[in-house]
Structure formats: structure tokens, C-alpha cells
A and B are shown apart, each in its own frame.
Chain A
Amino acid sequence: MTVYLLRRLIQAAGVVLAMSLLVFLGVYAIGDPVEILISPDADQIERERAIRSLGLDLPLWEQYLVFLGKALQGDLGRSFVFNEPALRLILDRMPATLELAVGATVAAIIIGLPLGLYAGLRPDSAVSKAIMAGSILGFSLPTFWVGLMLIMVFAVQLGWLPSTGRGETVEVLGVRWSFLTWNGLSHMILPAINLSLFKISLVIRLTRAGVREAMLMDYVKFARAKGLSPNRVVFVHVFKNILIPVVTVVGLEFGGTIAFSVVTESIFAWPGMGKLIIDSINVLDRPVMVAYLMVIVLMFVVINLVVDITYTVLDPRVRLEGKA
């Protein structure tokens, strides 16, 4: 186990290193680093001083080591636009994104589980068929377009929910959160539903498949034979068993949700990391781009690592494979 863990950690570090090289080459080899890292407003003398102070006169491999050393100390450059350290800028926006992603995950479970349960218990009813058709649509619909339609219906036509921004926030532990105020929560509903659309479909399909499988199992027959009420059989015996795969997959999808929040945040003007990176790309604020990429790579490597380790703990087969 320890050996496996160690090997997995080294692998993860390798991936981060490889990605840092890619990002470095992206900045230094494809674009002109002078243009990328020095503000275009700088004059000739400033430029030369900046080139020397940034070490751009060094050979490329030495520059990479410097870049790496600074990155390890959390220095990923300063934003041209905000004139703040790029890393802090991103970490400032991270809670908003995490809040949205968690909200979407919760929404997927609250909406998807009951629908999937119903479709699994009554597979032949017309409602179940409608639910399943809806879940196919959820996989095929372009998410960004659905977001626009949500705004059109609920914000413009009906006027029930706000469509942009985070609304009022409350500061807890030095971080601002929207979901603690009624106004903030109402701002969160549309983007969270939009972001969770794909996951709702996923949860519906998983739950339905799980329920249909579980209903044929011996333990369900036994519970029925004991004379338990149908409700108790479904909500205690079946429910417990289908939750495991559903929770696993939803957890696995969390990284994807954070990535896709780029789109949702842009539509609903949600001030998270995703909106920041799109804005930064549009104004060519490269230090922020580099910092975002490094942060997101790190985040993904950590998520993948945690998932792998959890699997190893839960499933002994993976452990054995690692040893072989």
C-alpha cells in the first residue's frame, strides 16, 4: 500500500512537472515572452531592464528552472489588468466557483435521484419514458444554449430569478459566500441548475439502472417476504445500495464540473475563476492565464490522486494490480 501510494504520488508530481513544462513552452516558445510578460505600454529602457530582471537573456532551460522555482514559491507573475499577483487573483475567485460547483452537484442529486428512482420503479409508465427521453436531451443539449434559455424564461419572461452576478454575500472565515443569504441563493439557482444539467441526466440513468437491478435481488425479495411496507423496502433497503455508485460517479464528475463552470460563469456573469480566465484570454492577460492553468492542473492532479487512492482503499483488486 505504501509503495503504491508513493509511486502514485511520484506519478502525480511527474504530471504536474510535465504540464508546467507545457505551459512554460506555451508562453515562451509559441508567443514572444517579451510581449507576453512585459506590459505593452513599457518604453525601450523599461523593456530592457525588464528583460534582464525577468532573466529573459538566459538560455531557455535556465529560464524554465527559474520559472519553476518561482512557481514553487507561489509566484506566477502579476496581472497586467489588475496589477495584483495572478495567483492571489485566482484564489480570490476560487470560492465562488467551488460554491457553484457544489451547488450544481447538490442540485443534480436532489433532482436526479427522485426522478431516477421513479423511472426505475415504474419503468413502463409514460412518465418514466418522458424522464428517460429528457435525460437523453440532457446529454445532447448544448449547455450554454440551455443557460440562455433559462435566462430567457425565468429571468426575462417570468421575472422570477435574477440572471447575473452573485447577489448579496456573507463573509464567513474570511471568504464571501452567496448561499447564506436569500438573495445570494436566488442568484445561484439558475447557474447551478444549468451547470448540473449533464449531471442530472447522469444521476437519473445511474439511479434507474441501480434500482432496476436491486429490485431483482434476493435481499429485496426477503425484505418483502418479511412483510415490510413497500416504502420501507425502497427507501431503506434499495436506496442504501444504489447510493454508493451514484455518489462515486458524482464525486468523479466534480473536476469536470469545475472545468465546465467556465461556460456557465460566462453566461450568468458569475464572478468565479472561469469568468476570470475567459476575460483574461480576451484581454491577453497572460500571467493570469498561466496561473490559472497551473492552478487547474494542480487541482485535477489532486482530484485524480484522491479518486485513485479512494479506489485503492475501497477495492482490493486495484491494490493487487498495482503490486503485480
Chain B
Amino acid sequence: MSSTTLGAAPVPAVPPKIETPFHRFVAEFAASPIAVGALVVFAIIALVAILAPWIAPQNPYDLAVLDIMDGRLEPGSVGGTGITHWLGTDDQGRDMLSGIMYGLRISLTVGAGSALIACLVGASLGMLAAYAGGRTDSAIMRLVDLQLSFPAILAALMILAFLGKGILNVVIAIVVVEWAYYARTVRGSALVERRREYIEAAQCLALPTHRVIFRHLLPNCLPPLIVVGTMQIARAIALEATLSFLGLGVPITEPSLGLLIANGYEYMLSGKYWISFYPGIALLVTIVSINLVGDQLRDVLNPRLKK
């Protein structure tokens, strides 16, 4: 989607029957039924997250509709408020299904949001490194190497230890942890692309540098960036869930899936599995579907795998 806005050079009027690169891309992506299935599943998850306030059986954070007497009901039982709790309730009497729908909203927003910011920061720095070269390049890449030599969970822990909890701080931590992947990817493909004739041609036309970078170089570096971006969204969601599970992530007032799982932890030992189990399944399905889509994108967008 961003490729169409970025490559916004006058769109030639294409007769509908002729095969465009986009059509070819769609056809190749659809060749794998698993990937299409994963995309559909992810679309449903995203839709559920967006529509949660309208389709959830109850608003789990409206204290007026909660009844503490409904606490820790088993899946399928009917609570005092007349709602059937298909996935049971947590210790506060919240409907787990509704909790998961709202949790998905937070998990997806934080995950996708921070992955997007990391993409912007990382891609800009990677592009700068490739275009400027020399000292700038080696300084940025040294930083990338340093960042990548420390495991993500550790770096994020470090940042949250100093900044404290909160959604914004989690986003900052994920951005700091992830930008290096984008920077490395973009630099790699930009180094190859900038030696091509069309860049030379653009430079010969004395186009301003920013125009060469954003209108000519960047659109051609997009395919690998899209692949990395997809995978990193899944990683960001998993990282956010892990941090929230450890109690260093989102605040208790805005529980993501990770925090929901953490809430059920103490009840698990007494056999009340559903409080942790179902949010975990939701998290798992989300991550796996994104990874499967990313896998297929990599196969389709990688020119080396083309026959």
C-alpha cells in the first residue's frame, strides 16, 4: 500500500486486462493456500480487534457491568448478568472473550505501531548509511552491530528498567530494539540499487538529493523491507506480550494479551486454566498467521527464488 503512495509518479492509464506487477504479485501470493488462509485468519483477528467495542458481549472495563460473584466461572457457564461466558471469566468476573477482544486491540496497536515507527527510523538511517557512505555509514552500522549482538528481550528490559512501565515506554523499547533490523535490510538493498543506471540518470538530471532518495531509491528497496516489516510485527507483538507478562509492559488499566495471561498465572496452579489459556491461543494464532503471511511474502518478493 505504501508503495503506491511513494511511487506516486503519474500513474499510466492501464487497460484492465493487462497483467500489472501487482496482479502478478497477488496471483503468486495466492498460489499457497496456507498463506491465503493465514491472511484470512489475520484479517478476521484484525477486524475483531477493531470492532471489539461493538461486538464484544460486554465491556470488560466498565465496572458497572461486572459482578464479582461471576469471578472465575468455567467456560460455557452463564453469569449473574445473563451473559453466557463461552471462554469463562477471570478473577474480577470479566468475560474472557470480551477481555481477549479488547486485549487484541492493545496488542495489535502496540505491536504494529512500534514496528511501524521502528521501520521509519531504521529505514531512514539505513538509507542515510547507504547514501552517505564513509564515516556516517560505518558509524551507523557499528551501532546496528552493537544493537544486534544483544538479545532483544535484554535490551528492552534495560530500557524499561530505567523508563518504567507504560504503553509509550514499551513502544520506545520495541523501537530501540527493532530499528537495527530495518536499517540493515534497507542499507543492504540500497547499496545495490544506488549503483544502478536509473539512480545515475536521476542524479544527472540534477534532481535534489531527497527526491532521488525518496522517489527513486526508496521504492526499489521496498520489497525486502515489506518482508522484514511483516516478520517484525509478529516479533513486536510477542515481545510486548512477554514484557507485559513480566509486569514491565502495559499498565493494568489497559491489559494486552500478555497481561491477561499473567493475570491467570496464579489461578493456573488451582486448575483454572482458561484465564491464561485462551488469551495465549489468541496470541499464538495472531503470531503464527503473521509469520505464515511473511513467509509467503518472502518467497514471492525474493527475486533470487524466481524461476
Q: Do A and B bind each other?
A: yes
Contact residues of A with B, CB < 8 Å?
A: 15, 18, 26-27, 30-31, 137, 139-145, 148-149, 151-152, 155-157, 163, 255-256, 259-260, 262-263, 266-267, 277-278, 281-282, 289, 293, 296, 300, 304
What per-residue 1/0 map shows which CB atoms of B257-301 lie under 8 Å from chain A?
010010011001111010011001001100110010000000000
Return chain A residues, CB-CB under 8 Å to B149: 300, 304
Return chain B residues, CB-CB under 8 Å to A30: 162-163
By beta carbon, the residue of chain B nearest A153 is: B273
Out of A18, A143, A277, A282, name the residue touching B157 (CB < 8 Å): A277
Q: Is the CB of B269 within 8 A of A156?
A: yes
By beta carbon, the residue of chain A nearest B241 is: A142
Return chain A residues, CB-CB under 8 Å to B270: 156
Out of A140, A259, A277, name the residue touching B284 (CB < 8 Å): A140
Out of A149, A163, A281, A300, name the residue touching B277 (CB < 8 Å): A149
Out of A139, A148, A156, A262, name the residue touching B246 (CB < 8 Å): A262
Return chain A residues, CB-CB under 8 Å to B153: 259-260, 262-263
Q: How far is the CA of A95 from the CA of B208 in the complex (A)?
A: 59
Q: How far is the CA of A91 from the CA of B135 in the complex (A)?
A: 40
Q: How far is the CA of A137 from the CA of B291 in the complex (A)?
A: 10
Q: Is the CB of A152 within 8 A of B268?
A: yes
Out of B163, B258, B268, B284, name the residue touching A141 (CB < 8 Å): B284
Task: Check A149/B280 contact, CB under 8 A, given A27-B162, A30-B162.
Answer: yes
The distance from the CB of B31 to the nearest CB of chain A, in whole angstroms, is 19
Q: Is the CB of A151 within 8 A of B162?
A: no
Q: Is the CB of B284 within 8 A of A156?
A: no
With A148-B261, A256-B151, A282-B247 known, 15 other A-B pairs at CB within 8 A are A140-B287, A140-B291, A142-B238, A142-B258, A145-B276, A145-B284, A149-B280, A156-B270, A262-B157, A263-B242, A263-B246, A281-B157, A281-B161, A289-B161, A304-B149
The distance from the CB of B111 to the nearest CB of chain A, in whole angstroms, is 12
What per-residue 1/0 map shows which CB atoms of B233-248 lie under 8 Å from chain A?
0100010011001111
What per-residue 1/0 map shows which CB atoms of B57-81 lie under 8 Å from chain A?
0000000000000000000000000
The distance from the CB of B140 to the nearest CB of chain A, in whole angstroms, is 15
Total A-B residue pairs with C-beta atoms closer than 8 Å?
96
Out of B151, B234, B261, name the residue touching A144 (CB < 8 Å): B261
Task: Check A15/B154 contact, CB under 8 A, given A144-B245, A151-B269, A156-B269.
Answer: no
Interface residues of B in 245-259 (CB under 8 A from A): 245-248, 258
Q: How far is the CA of A31 from the CA of B200 in the complex (A)?
A: 50
Q: Which 8 A-B pairs have the closest CB atoms?
A: A145-B280, A259-B151, A26-B162, A259-B154, A256-B151, A140-B288, A144-B245, A289-B161
Interface residues of B in 138-163 (CB under 8 A from A): 146, 149-151, 153-154, 157-158, 160-163
Q: How far is the CA of A163 from the CA of B296 in the complex (A)?
A: 39
Return chain A residues, CB-CB under 8 Å to B158: 26, 293
By beta carbon, the residue of chain A nearest B261 is: A145
Return chain B residues, CB-CB under 8 Å to A259: 150-151, 153-154
Return chain B residues, CB-CB under 8 Å to A31: 162
Return chain B residues, CB-CB under 8 Å to A145: 241, 261, 276, 280, 283-284
Q: Is the CB of A148 within 8 A of B276?
A: yes
Q: Is the interface of A mostly helix, strand, loop or mixed?
A: helix
Task: Check A157/B271 contact, CB under 8 A, given A27-B162, A140-B287, A142-B283.
Answer: yes
By beta carbon, the residue of chain B nearest A289 is: B161
Q: Is the CB of B157 within 8 A of A142?
A: no
Among the interface residues B153, B162, B277, which one has the most CB atoms of the partner chain A within 10 A? B162
Among the interface residues B234, B261, B270, which one has the most CB atoms of the partner chain A within 10 A? B261
The distance from the CB of B126 to the nearest CB of chain A, in whole angstroms, is 21
By beta carbon, the residue of chain A nearest B271 is: A156
Q: How far is the CA of A296 from the CA of B151 in the complex (A)?
A: 11
The distance from the CB of B291 to the nearest CB of chain A, in whole angstroms, is 5
The distance from the CB of B163 to the nearest CB of chain A, in whole angstroms, is 7
Among the interface residues A142, A255, A281, which one has the most CB atoms of the partner chain B within 10 A? A142
By beta carbon, the residue of chain A nearest B289 is: A140
By beta carbon, the residue of chain A nearest B152 is: A259
By beta carbon, the residue of chain B nearest A263 is: B242
Q: Is the CB of A148 within 8 A of B162?
A: no
Q: Is the CB of B146 within 8 A of A142?
A: no
Q: How far is the CA of A156 from the CA of B151 in the complex (A)?
A: 32
Q: Is the CB of A152 within 8 A of B273?
A: yes
Q: How far is the CA of A185 from the CA of B14 in the complex (A)?
A: 69
The distance from the CB of A29 to the nearest CB of chain B, in whole angstroms, is 9
Q: List 29 A-B contacts (CB under 8 A).
A: A15-B146, A26-B158, A31-B162, A139-B291, A140-B287, A140-B291, A142-B241, A142-B242, A142-B284, A142-B287, A143-B242, A144-B241, A144-B242, A144-B245, A144-B258, A145-B283, A149-B277, A152-B268, A156-B271, A259-B150, A260-B151, A262-B153, A262-B246, A263-B246, A266-B246, A278-B247, A281-B157, A293-B161, A296-B154
Q: How far is the CA of A156 from the CA of B163 in the complex (A)?
A: 37
Return chain A residues, CB-CB under 8 Å to B271: 156-157
Q: How far is the CA of A147 from the CA of B203 in the complex (A)?
A: 56
Return chain B residues, CB-CB under 8 Å to A156: 268-271, 273
Q: Is the CB of A163 within 8 A of B280?
A: no
Q: Is the CB of B268 within 8 A of A148?
A: yes
Q: How far is the CA of A285 from the CA of B261 in the complex (A)?
A: 26
Out of B151, B245, B247, B283, name the residue touching A255 (CB < 8 Å): B151
Return chain A residues, CB-CB under 8 Å to B280: 142, 145, 148-149
Return chain A residues, CB-CB under 8 Å to B161: 26, 277, 281, 289, 293
Return chain B residues, CB-CB under 8 Å to A266: 246
Q: How far is the CA of A262 from the CA of B154 in the complex (A)?
A: 9
Q: How far is the CA of A262 from the CA of B261 in the complex (A)?
A: 17
By beta carbon, the residue of chain B nearest A290 is: B161
